Amino acid sequence: MISRTATCHCGELALVCSGEPRKISLCHCLECQRRTGSAFSIAVFYRRDSVRVERGDPASFERPSASGQPVEFHFCPRCGSNLFWEPARMPELVGVAAGAFADPAFPAPEQSVWTRDKHRWLSLPDSIAQYELNPPPRQPAD
């Protein structure tokens, strides 16, 4: 089974993520822009039981989201890197910051959400599904 390690800027906080991500998503919402200091965030979503804190003790911050449900963000108390988050709207998943893997070969995002807030100068590949807001919920497989 594949295992990837995500670390903060200073290396004090580390996560181990086992298996393949459930989904990889670009988010252009204004909250993610503020959180990352960039034009978007890239979230790598893993099943909750596939993610464990290997090193460090994260600090947390909770805020409401556009879905009306809170999101709890976990970051390094030393360098401030926002490493992972737990969206109440998707309790089975944990989002991990793609850049924290520091792997240029990491798989590409499959979707782009909150494109209504996307910077107009940013062009996305045709291969990425685009949603003005959140994507529709996934239907359970039969």
Please give the model's pTM, rounded to 2 decimal places. Answer: 0.89
Average per-residue pLDDT for the chain:
92
Average pLDDT over residues 69-89: 95
Q: What confidence tier does 136 reach under pLDDT thresholds 50, 70, 90?
A: confident
Question: What does the pLDDT read at residue 142?
Answer: 44
Q: Which has the minimum average pLDDT: 12-21, 23-32, 60-69?
A: 60-69
| Interval 71-88 mean pLDDT | 95
CA–CA gap between residue 46 and residue 78 (Å, rounded): 25
The CATH number that domain 11-102 falls under is 2.170.150.70
Give pLDDT, residue 138.
Answer: 64
- Calpha distance 41→49 (Å, rounded): 23
Domain spans of the chain? 11-102
- On the CB side of 41, how many CA atoms lie within 13 Å of its CA? 23
